[in-house]
Amino acid sequence: MNMAIVSDIFTIAAVSAGAFFFLAGTVGLLRFPDVLTRLHALTKADNLGLGLVVLGLLPRTDGLLSALKLISIWLLVLLGGGIITQLIATSARRGGPPE
């Protein structure tokens, strides 16, 4: 087995696993009973789902710079997603959504 096939299998496996986490996160968002548990499901999609997709795409990049860009996108989403979830949760505990 040559390297190209190994890298292809790695990409397919990692991106599929990422897609699975996105699916699970979406199901959780639709099925869970309240705001806090739904947020919990949503952040799993961001953290693990996107992380695995990025991991799977890393062997396909055409250089170190593109790989670093992909990783920093993941880190930014982690940061933004985590903090915005906290903000939504705080406002939900205080008095529900603004409507």
Partner 1 sequence: MTTATAFNLGLAVLVMVLACWTVLARGAFAATVGFVAYGLLLAFIWIRLGAVDVALTEAAIGGGLSGVLMLGAAARLRASEALIAAETIAAGRRLWAAALSAVTALALVTSVLLLPDPAPTLAPAAAENAAATTLGNPVTNVLMAFRALDTMLEKVVLLLALVGVWSLGPDRFWGGRLGPRHRVDPEGMLVFLAQLLPPAGVVVGIYVFWVGANAPGGAFQGGTILAAMWLLAMMAGLTDTPPSGSRRARLVLVAGPSAFLIVGLGGLWLGEAFLAYPLAYAKALILGIEFAMVPTIAVTLGLLLAGPPDRSAQS
Contacting residues toward partner 1, per CB under 8 A? 72, 76, 79-80, 83, 86-87, 90, 97-99
Run of H or E including 68:
helix 64-95
The one-letter amino acid code at 36 reads L
Residue 83: CB minimum distance to partner 1, A: 5
Residue 27: CB minimum distance to partner 1, A: 18
CA angle in degrees (0–180, nearest 5) for 93-96-99: 160
Contact 33, 52 (CB under 8 A): no
Cβ closer to partner 1: 13 or 73? 73
Residue 36: CB minimum distance to partner 1, A: 15
Cβ closer to partner 1: 6 or 16? 16
Cβ closer to partner 1: 58 or 77? 77
CA proximity to 54, closest of 95, 11, 2: 11
